[in-house]
């Protein structure tokens, strides 16, 4: 068979000018195309079958999902030098824009979208320097959705002495500087390289600045609250070597504050605030679900 193919004499058939066989006896004579032309046609057929198989598998994998797209596809447009983040894991996740700050700090800043699963978007809106602002659509896992409108400054913040419309944690001269007097409601993230390793949920209550310390899990996703603290507004601005307030407050002589004002997860919480878990996928206010 190999020799017959090479000589183009295969059971009374000959090669037509378009590579199509025709019965012997019609147009007898020399071949109108060299036999080598069969080789690329065969390879093209093989490549075509492989490509069709790939496309079929890809389409089947995407069938039934309205959010089936490559991770390289950007789903929000980030302003200026903000960094596009996509932490979807195939089941749930977020896409958002991030403002990178000194000291490996970061805040969400720009458009934000969250999915409970590829077919169900849980929320969408915009962040401004770590807090929700403007119009948002928010849904729970049962499909109950509502429209919300978050102001740039909350009414209680306008009346609080010392409030500043800026991120309440900064990295200055090798120290993390907390402004407990301002205590602007903000969600702040600490990064290990490009992966989050800690979140701080900051917001004011009647008599102090509430901070939830939330370590990330091994994949860099938001974990469970480790502990919470409420620091009196009159504490003002303080600088610390780390973001671990439970360890840092006693070093500055605030021994009366740390034991009574900070509570570890699982212990009695004197703040009457429920610790936040993985259900809370984003926050900038102290209204935990």
Domain boundaries along the sequence of the chain: 2-62, 83-264
Residue 78 has what pLDDT? 96
| Beta-carbon count within 10 A of 55 CB | 10
* pLDDT of 218 strictly over 80: no
Residue 281 has what pLDDT? 40
> 76-122: per-residue pLDDT in tens?
999 999 999 998 888 889 999 999 999 999 999 999 999 999 999 99
* pLDDT of 125 strictly over 70: yes
* pLDDT of 49 strictly over 70: no
Nearest to 212 by CA among 188, 191, 195: 188
> 167-203: per-residue pLDDT in tens?
999 999 999 999 999 999 999 999 999 899 999 999 9
| 88 close to 75: Cβ distance less than 8 angstroms | no
Torsion of CA 179, 180, 181, 184, to 10 degrees: 80
Give dist(CA 229, CA 6) in Å, integer: 84
- The pTM of the full predicted model, rounded to 2 decimals, is 0.68
DSSP classification of residue 222: B
* pLDDT of 126 strictly over 80: yes
Going by pLDDT thresholds of 50, 70 and 90, the confidence category of residue 31 is very low
Residue 72 has what pLDDT? 58
Q: How far is CA 254 from the centre of its chain?
A: 37
Going by pLDDT thresholds of 50, 70 and 90, the confidence category of residue 16 is very low
| Beta-carbon count within 10 A of 15 CB | 18
Average pLDDT in the 49-60 region? 44
* pLDDT of 275 strictly over 70: no
Tokens encoding 50? 């492989």
Residue 89 has what pLDDT? 83
Give dist(CA 69, CA 149) in Å, integer: 30
Average pLDDT in the 215-220 region? 76
């Amino acid at each position: 068979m190999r020799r017959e193919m090479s000589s183009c004499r295969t059971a009374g058939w000959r090669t037509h000018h378009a590579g199509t066989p025709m019965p012997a006896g019609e147009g007898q004579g020399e071949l109108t195309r060299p036999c080598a032309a069969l080789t690329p046609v065969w390879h093209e057929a093989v490549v075509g079958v492989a490509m069709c198989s790939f496309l079929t598998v890809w389409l089947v994998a995407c069938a039934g999902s309205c959010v089936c797209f490559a991770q390289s596809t950007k789903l929000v447009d980030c302003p200026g030098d903000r960094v596009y983040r996509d932490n979807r894991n195939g089941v749930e996740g977020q896409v958002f824009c991030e403002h990178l700050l000194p000291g490996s700090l970061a805040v969400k800043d720009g458009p934000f979208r969250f999915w409970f699963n590829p077919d169900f978007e849980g929320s969408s809106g915009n962040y401004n320097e770590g807090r929700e602002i403007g119009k948002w659509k928010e849904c729970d896992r049962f499909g109950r959705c509502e429209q919300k409108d978050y102001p740039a400054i909350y009414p209680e913040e306008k009346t609080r002495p010392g409030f500043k419309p800026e991120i309440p944690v900064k990295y200055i001269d090798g120290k993390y500087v907390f402004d407990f007097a301002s205590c602007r409601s903000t969600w702040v993230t600490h990064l290990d390289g490009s992966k989050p390793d800690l979140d701080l949920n900051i917001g004011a209550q009647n008599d102090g600045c509430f901070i939830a310390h939330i370590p990330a899990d091994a994949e860099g996703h938001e974990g469970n609250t480790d502990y919470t603290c409420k620091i009196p507004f009159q504490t003002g601005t303080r600088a610390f070597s780390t973001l671990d307030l439970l360890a840092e407050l006693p070093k500055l002589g605030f021994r009366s504050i740390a034991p009574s004002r900070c509570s570890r997860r699982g212990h009695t919480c004197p703040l009457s605030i429920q610790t936040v878990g993985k259900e809370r996928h984003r926050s900038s206010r102290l209204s935990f679900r």
